[in-house]
Amino acid sequence: NAGVTQTPKFRVLKTGQSMTLLCAQDMNHEYMYWYRQDPGMGLRLIHYSVGEGTTAKGEVPDGYNVSRLKKQNFLLGLESAAPSQTSVYFCASRSPGGTMFFGSGTQLSVL
């Protein structure tokens, strides 16, 4: 009964390094989302996917790329990390009824 699983939970990067955040869901949901959460800013949508092989930009897509090669996985990549990307990242999937299921988050620090 895993739901939505995010890895890693914590990561520290140096400016310019790259990394990939992995999100996996076992509920067979079509829709998946990546958000970032910053103090006073709430949740901001980075990218989302409406099905396997599809991706689309959200509110704050710059500096991020995503891929949805398999229905259950949604990957978020940072090609060249910047301090402004220090944040908590949440992945979510959405049921046909509209309810969102969130992972427990990834705390990323870029030094």
Partner 1 sequence: AQSVAQPEDQVNVAEGNPLTVKCTYSVSGNPYLFWYVQYPNRGLQFLLKYITGDNLVKGSYGFEAEFNKSQTSFHLKKPSALVSDSALYFCAVRAQNRDDKIIFGKGTRLHILP
Residues that bind partner 1 (CB under 8 A): 4, 31, 33, 35, 40-43, 45, 48, 50, 56, 58, 90, 92, 94, 97-105
Tokens in use for 62?
A: 């710059």
The CB density around residue 67, as the number of other CB atoms within 10 Å, is: 15
Tokens in use for 58?
A: 């959200």
For the CA atoms of the chain, what is the radius of gyration? 13
Give the shortest CB-40-to-partner 1 separation in angstroms.
7
Nearer to partner 1, 41 or 82 (CB): 41
Nearer to partner 1, 73 or 101 (CB): 101
Nearer to partner 1, 17 or 37 (CB): 37
∠ CA(41), CA(44), CA(45), 5° rounding? Answer: 180
Give the shortest CB-90-to-partner 1 separation in angstroms.
6
Give the shortest CB-2-to-partner 1 separation in angstroms.
13
Residues near 98 by beta carbon (within 8 Å), at least 6 away in sequence: none
Give the shortest CB-50-to-partner 1 separation in angstroms.
5
Nearer to partner 1, 33 or 85 (CB): 33
3-state SS class at 57: strand
